[in-house]
Amino acid sequence: MKRKLQRIFIKGGVLSPGELKQIIKMAEDLGNSTIKFGSRQDILIPFKESNKKTIDLFPNINIEENQIHDRQNIVSSYVSADIFPATSWLKGSTFLYILEQFRFKPSLKINIVDPKQQLVPIYNGQVNFIASENEDYWYLNLKLPNWDSEVDFPVLVYSWDIPKIAEAIEEFYEETTDISLLFDLINEKIETNHRTYDKKLEIPFHPFPYYEGMNKMGDSEYWLGLYWRNNEYDIDFLNVLCDFCLDSRVGKICITPWKSFIIKGINRKYKLKLEKLLGKKGINVRHSSLELNWHLPVENNEALELKKFIVRNFDQNDISTYGLNFSVADIAKNETYFTSAVIEKNQVPTIVKDFNVRPTFNVLYCKNFNPNTREYITYAQDVDKMELPGLLMELSKLYFDKLGENDLSEIEKNETIKLEKEVHQCSECLTVYDADYGDKLAEIEAGTPFNELPLDYVCSVCEASKETYKLVKI
């Protein structure tokens, strides 16, 4: 029989060491020695109905009040800020400010993410705020319950309007399935500082990162990623780690959607102390990337054993899966996928439900191996468990065969990008005259061909005559 799990909401996956110590104390009082992390940057603790009085002793912990999942955690890519590729204007402090403004308890899945990182899924929420290149403005993608398809909000949303727009969507989305009407209802309800956009959001492929171990962060700081294979995090160790964070003035601990966590901003002078702590506790921080790139349903031993079986085969065959990620799903649950490849477990036909039948699986992969396309292609259907490692190894090889081809085709399609061009170069100082740009100092307008320059034109750097210029390719 499966244990019941009490969900603790961690807004944006960010909490302080002091807050984590409170959660650990509650877990201890409930008789647990471990905690789990959930798929939406939340924390899960086993409990019984008789534990409710103990839970009531911790009113400051944001706990799910019942087991019908009528509330959801807010997911954010704050965990990636300052350590993985990022939109230039988007800082960790921006995420924290936005999260702080959420004063209501969402019933919809809200994601607030940077499209240039790959650690936090972008489109697996129902209300997805995605940073644009325009400072402090975000695209908004909606996949609302009972709406036929996902839609894009018609404008860019201002950073400081995100919480109130999310709350207004929750208020009105059941009244209509038309995005224009929903937009009008929101504008009648609240004042916003939105702006129009002239192009749709396109998210290029980024390889899935290695997120474990001690890593450099700037000139004098480090970040630490920790991962447990079985998602059973020992609370005695977590207590000691929280004390270290408090002593070394680390303000935040970040949970990832991959059931792991990251600590950022560890000062260089505390690095050795932390390494000794990890060593004394026997903490492994060098798991193979073959197993870090998996997403499994919580409390599903069958999925965990399937992953172990496949990873062992990968390891024995010395296969690389760098940049890819995998998930195991039950086709009956109709889940939203967000990994490069998905192993779907098929339902057993009702006609043979009374017999012991080996399960079969489907293997899917997303278009261009980019999860953000949200377009999945069937690679194999109704295969046995023993066939899965070989199929996934073939799929990995296909990924590496195709790697880079999409980027190249986009460049070839873009007529404004030239891999090689002809310009005129001064043979005295090597200054280049490019007709596309002209010469601002000499008041030569952009687009003026070299042969149309005045006879008395001279190099703007060394004043050599026009005759000294030679045609070259760059």
DSSP for 298-362?
A: TT-HHHHHHHHHHHHHHHHTT---TB--EEEEEGGG-PPP-SSEEEEEPPPPGGGTTS-----EE
- Answer whether residue 406 shows pLDDT above 60: no
Q: What is the CATH number of the domain that holds 303?
A: 3.30.413
**Is there a single domain that holds both residue 20 and residue 59?**
yes
Res. 1 pLDDT band, cuts 50 70 90: very low
214 and 339 co-located in one domain: no
Number of structural domains the chain divides into = 3
Residue 192 lies in a domain: no
Poorest-confidence range of 123-127, 145-149, 266-270, 352-356?
Answer: 352-356
Over 90: is that where the pLDDT of 18 sits? Answer: yes
The answer to whether residue 396 is domain-embedded is yes
Q: What number is the average pLDDT over the span 396-403?
A: 86
187 lies in some domain? no
**Of 76 and 419, the one with more pLDDT:** 76
Distance CA 392, CA 210 (A): 20
Domain that holds residue 311: 291-409
Q: Are residues 326 and 255 in the same domain?
A: no
Q: 237, 247 in Cβ contact below 8 A?
A: no
pLDDT at position 55 over 90: no
Q: How far is CA 442 from CA 84, 437, 450, 451, in A?
A: 44, 12, 13, 15
Any idea what the CATH number is for the domain that residue 39 is in? 3.90.480.10
Are residues 228 and 366 both part of a single domain? Answer: no
What is the average pLDDT value for the chain, to the nearest integer? 88
pLDDT of 127 reads 97
Residue with token string 């030239």: 418
Tell me if 449 sits within 8 A of 437, measured CB to CB: no
pLDDT of res. 424:
87
Q: Are residues 399 and 465 in the same domain?
A: no
pLDDT at 50 over 90: no
- Residues 374, 426 within the same domain: no
One domain for residues 262 and 339: no
Q: How confident is the model at residue 411 (pLDDT cuts 50, 70, 90)?
A: very low
Same domain, 111 and 25: yes
Tokens of 391: 């199929």
Top pLDDT among 161 and 2 is at 161
Q: What is the pTM of this model?
A: 0.81
Whole-number pLDDT of residue 74: 97
Has residue 434 got a pLDDT over 70? yes
Report residue 423's pLDDT band, with 50, 70 and 90 as the boundaries: confident
The stretch 90-105 carries a mean pLDDT of 95
Do 405 and 438 fall within a single domain? Answer: no
Same domain, residue pair 398 and 383: yes
Nearest CA to 63 among 46, 39, 43? 43
Mean pLDDT on 206-218 = 91
244 and 377 assigned to the same domain: no
Mean pLDDT of 201-229: 91
Which of 252, 267, 287 lies at the terminal end of a domain, its last residue? 287
Q: Which of 287, 306, 341 is the last residue of a domain?
A: 287
Predicted confidence (pLDDT) at residue 320 exceeds the cutoff of 90: no
Does some domain include residue 142?
no
| 12 in the same domain as 62 | yes
DSSP type of residue 209: P
Choose among 387, 365, 389: nearest CA to 310. 389
Distance of CA 389 to the CA centre of its chain: 26
Residue 453 lies in a domain: yes
Are 221 and 294 within 8 A, CB to CB?
Answer: no
* Mean pLDDT value of segment 390-397: 92
CATH number for the domain spanning 451: value is: 2.20.28.10
Residue 195 lies in a domain: no
Check residue 205 and give its pLDDT: 84
Is 146 part of any domain? no
Last residue of a domain, one of 409, 426, 441: 409
Is residue 141, in this structure, part of any structural domain at all? no
